[in-house]
Structure 1
Amino acid sequence: MERRSFLRGAVVGGSATAFGGTLWRGSAAADPAQPGAGPYGPLEPADARGIRLPEGFTSRVVARSGQRVAGTSYTWHPAPDGGACFADGDGWIYVSNSEVTPSGGAGSIRFTAAGEVAGAYRILSGTRQNCAGGATPWGTWLSCEEVDRGYVYETDPRGAHAAVRRDAMGRFTHEAAAADPDRQVVYLTEDVSDGCFYRFRPRTWGSLSAGTLEVLRMGPGTSGPVTWAPVPDPSGATAATRHQVAGAKRFDGGEGCHYGAAEGVCWFTTKGDGRVWRYDAAAETLQLAYDDSLVPGTAPLTGVDNVTGSRTGDLYVAEDGGTMEICLITPDEVVAPFLRVEGQGGSEITGPAFTPDGTRLYFSSQRGTTGSSSGGITYEVTGPFRT
């Protein structure tokens, strides 16, 4: 019997237990999250854009691949992927990667305090397969190349400064990045079936030009203490970075990554096995927060990919495929759909990111209704988010 079917059957047979917030509190005996009623209630019928949302929430389209962003001269890039929001005076900026080769790169949309588009422009060009990335505390966007021996590029969301390639952060199949200002490190995921989980320790916090790339080591299993070891050759010239350190923990397709400052935890996803992981940075322990094979019946969250967090501690996990949903995992370890995109089964959901005040959520359908990278659609959702 296939492992995932066996585990799902075991849960149905009674091995699942009730949940009481133990993952967020860091209990070593915590169980992975399970389906339940979400804080916003059930999804309503699809709106005119094919988006199903809870009552009180609305959506709008802010950009389409191959078309000019309304009121600007910038043509929105193909295959929009990872994204983040940055404060900009009274308004904000949404940054989005472009997961295509050879052009790749990233673009930005600037919004006024009222949510109106005030500008759009390119911030990174000439790179390859820019998938996810992450924001830094000093207001830059790290755009990651998801190719063999790919780079991380540090970009300016406002477009005032040229992007800089950050070689010291290693050359591998980069996916996402999450800055931890408390320990002054940046966590990095690797999207291959036997990938690793890394952290970059800058020589000087606030500068990514030099530092030490480290890889997580851990014994067998899905929870327990971890250690970190330097990667001897971050360039990957002598051997792939994931093969350089004995005992490096393997992860099946590292995807999204998010650091929750309030709880001191870095969350990351692995699409190959449908898991969400919880790394307690203070305790240096790893736990399994969600596994779709440990859900009885049909799992509400599959194809785990990009991830972000709200100000109240909810995790929002986007699906690559699945039922084209963004699901949330609450601090009480309840998994529930927050939205579903109808009629776009050949796409995936990417780039979820909240505005600085937590009242608007942006995301993209990477290939839209066409199933092609030229058909990407970027949306905004507003409503009574918990703030």
Structure 2
Amino acid sequence: MQRRNFLRAAVLGVGTSVAFGFSVSREAIAFPAEPGTGPYGQLLPPDANGIMLPKGFTSRVVARTGQKVAGTDHVWHGAPDGGACFVDGDGWIYVSNSEEYDGKGGVSAVRFDSAGGITAAYPILAGTSVNCSGGATPWNTWLSCEEFDRGQVFETDPWGRKEAVAHPAMGRFTHEAAAVDPEREVVYLTEDVSDGCFYRFVPTTWEDMSAGALQVLAERDGGLVWVDVPDPSAADTATRHQVAEALHISHGEGAYYRSGTCFFAAAGENRVYAYDAVNNVLNVAYDHDDSADAPLTGVDNITGAAVGDLYVAEDGGNMEVCVITPDDVVAPFLRVTGQDLSELCGVAFDPSGDRLYFSSQRGATGENSGGITYEVSGPFRKS
């Protein structure tokens, strides 16, 4: 059986699912999401920023590559990618990776006051390369991931007070995203290559990523198991090739953890997976190939709202951020026009859930020098 059909059987609970030892939860039976009417209705014509939004929502430009962030002396980085928000007193901080090459990458931050005004912007990591996505931690740091062979994870301080630290124990591979699971005290990691794997890092001491075990999700004896990667440094053999039974997933992208489940995108398969950590089951939350009119393609960065909605940005497609609801409906939330050579990334909500941040990595120019970071405000549902 091909891996694709093996996973589909595991999700739907048909045919071979019992033989392979998988359990199917009530939530899993509803997967995968299907096209439908989203919670915010149809998209309106493009606004002044070229963004199509539902009624009641507005957009503004937060920063442009090569230009100073408004009211600051900080020049915004090229190729903005993954991002996250952190509470800062009555305001918040948005951090954004730079996917520039040759040591020109890193991370920058923008600080906002309680009304959303920009009060500061500054670098928190420099001298790294291809900082793609990453993940926020419960102890208020940002894990920034390098997306190249033997790339590393860097832990950064959103306030810029502490020096960023590399964590080679988390593996040397083509990192994409990180998602922290505080219940099991692990960090899930995705890998953006055609035969990539899904990993987790088990730190020796929680909240300290300097030491621990890197494990890969594998198929063994009819079920899923986590197996230690013998050499996380990949000195001689790539991490994804060190465990024979490792489950290979094509081009792992963004990851988001919530309530026992790690959702992550697989761009090479046009899928969003849902790893049920409680029951150790891998489900397919969304599959583009399941519907002829599926709106979401080129799945990439993911974030979530408190109400349970997932927001998935496209790298390709028609430059949309789509919403996947807890009722398993997928629909466009916004569309960026006039930027077909770019990709959308860095989706993250402010602490109130009233503002969504995202970037168009290459903007209208199609070059890393054309990046634009946006904010969308409006009546995001809370219940």
Query: What is the TM-score normalised by the length of structure 2?
Result: 0.92
Q: 2:266 maps to what in 1?
A: 270
User: Does the Cα contact within 8 Å between 2:30 and 2:328 map onto a contact in 1?
Assistant: no
Counterpart of 2:196 in 1: which secondary structure? coil
Confirm or deny that 1:62 pairs with 2:62.
yes
CA distance in 2, matches of 1:144, 1:317: 19
Q: 1:211 maps to what in 2?
A: 212
Counterpart of 2:289 in 1: which secondary structure? helix
CA offsets 1:165-191 (integer angstroms, 9 cap, x no match): 001000000000000001000000000
CA offsets 1:179-230 (integer angstroms, 9 cap, x no match): 000100000000000000000001111111101000001269xxx8421000
CA distance in 1, matches of 2:372, 2:31: 36
Counterpart of 1:345 in 2: which secondary structure? coil
Query: What is the TM-score normalised by the length of structure 1?
Result: 0.91
User: Does the Cα contact within 8 Å between 2:37 and 2:331 map onto a contact in 1?
Assistant: yes
Counterpart of 1:266 in 2: which secondary structure? strand
| 1:7-18 correspondence to structure 2 within 5 Å | none
User: Does the Cα contact within 8 Å between 2:344 and 2:358 map onto a contact in 1?
Assistant: yes
CA distance in 2, matches of 1:27, 1:351: 27
The Cα of 1:329 is off from its aligned counterpart by 0.4
Q: 1:347 aligns with which of 331, 342, 351?
A: 342
Confirm or deny that 1:118 pairs with 2:119.
yes
CA distance in 2, matches of 1:267, 1:120: 30
The Cα of 1:27 is off from its aligned counterpart by 4.4
Counterpart of 1:335 in 2: which secondary structure? strand
Q: 1:83 maps to what in 2?
A: 83
Counterpart of 1:226 in 2: which secondary structure? strand
Q: 1:233 maps to what in 2?
A: 231
Q: 1:329 maps to what in 2?
A: 324
Q: 1:45 maps to what in 2?
A: 45
Counterpart of 2:381 in 1: which secondary structure? coil
Q: 2:366 maps to what in 1?
A: 371
| 1:14-29 correspondence to structure 2 within 5 Å | 26-29=26-29
Q: 2:202 maps to what in 1?
A: 201
Q: 1:151 maps to what in 2?
A: 152
CA distance in 1, matches of 2:109, 2:240: 32
Q: Which amino acid aligns with 2:157?
A: D
Q: 2:244 maps to what in 1?
A: 246
CA shift in 2, pair 1:169/1:386, >3 Å: same
CA distance in 2, matches of 1:28, 1:72: 47
CA distance in 2, matches of 1:360, 1:28: 30
User: Does the Cα contact within 8 Å between 1:309 and 1:315 map onto a contact in 2?
Assistant: yes
The Cα of 1:30 is off from its aligned counterpart by 4.0
Counterpart of 1:255 in 2: which secondary structure? strand
The Cα of 1:31 is off from its aligned counterpart by 3.8
CA distance in 2, matches of 1:85, 1:25: 32
CA distance in 2, matches of 1:164, 1:31: 39
Counterpart of 1:32 in 2: which secondary structure? coil
The Cα of 1:246 is off from its aligned counterpart by 1.6
CA offsets 1:103-134 (integer angstroms, 9 cap, x no match): 10010000000000000000000001000000
Counterpart of 2:169 in 1: which secondary structure? helix
Q: 1:359 maps to what in 2?
A: 354
The Cα of 1:26 is off from its aligned counterpart by 4.4
CA shift in 2, pair 1:357/1:25, >3 Å: farther
CA distance in 2, matches of 1:268, 1:139: 21
User: Does the Cα contact within 8 Å between 1:132 and 1:306 map onto a contact in 2?
Assistant: yes
Where do 5+ consecutive residues of structure 1 fail to align?
Answer: 5-23
User: Does the Cα contact within 8 Å between 2:35 and 2:293 map onto a contact in 1?
Assistant: no
Q: Which amino acid aligns with 1:165?
A: A
Q: Which amino acid aligns with 1:149?
A: R
CA shift in 2, pair 1:45/1:28, >3 Å: closer
User: Does the Cα contact within 8 Å between 1:225 and 1:286 map onto a contact in 2?
Assistant: no
CA distance in 2, matches of 1:26, 1:235: 39
Find runs of 4+ consecutive structure 1 residues off by over 3 angstroms: 24-31
User: Does the Cα contact within 8 Å between 1:219 and 1:249 map onto a contact in 2?
Assistant: no
Please tell me the root mean square deviation across aligned C-alpha atoms, in Å. 1.6
Confirm or deny that 1:72 pairs with 2:77.
no
Counterpart of 2:369 in 1: which secondary structure? helix
Q: 2:13 maps to what in 1?
A: none
User: Does the Cα contact within 8 Å between 1:26 and 1:280 map onto a contact in 2?
Assistant: no
Counterpart of 1:182 in 2: which secondary structure? coil
Q: 2:253 maps to what in 1?
A: 255
User: Does the Cα contact within 8 Å between 2:123 and 2:160 map onto a contact in 1?
Assistant: yes
User: Does the Cα contact within 8 Å between 1:212 and 1:230 map onto a contact in 2?
Assistant: yes
Q: 1:13 maps to what in 2?
A: none
Counterpart of 1:37 in 2: which secondary structure? coil
Q: 1:20 maps to what in 2?
A: none
Counterpart of 1:242 in 2: which secondary structure? helix
CA distance in 2, matches of 1:31, 1:112: 39
The Cα of 1:356 is off from its aligned counterpart by 1.2
The Cα of 1:265 is off from its aligned counterpart by 0.5
Q: 1:279 aligns with which of 275, 293, 299?
A: 275
CA offsets 1:279-302 (integer angstroms, 9 cap, x no match): 01111111111111111x232000
CA distance in 1, matches of 2:344, 2:29: 32
CA distance in 2, matches of 1:218, 1:307: 26
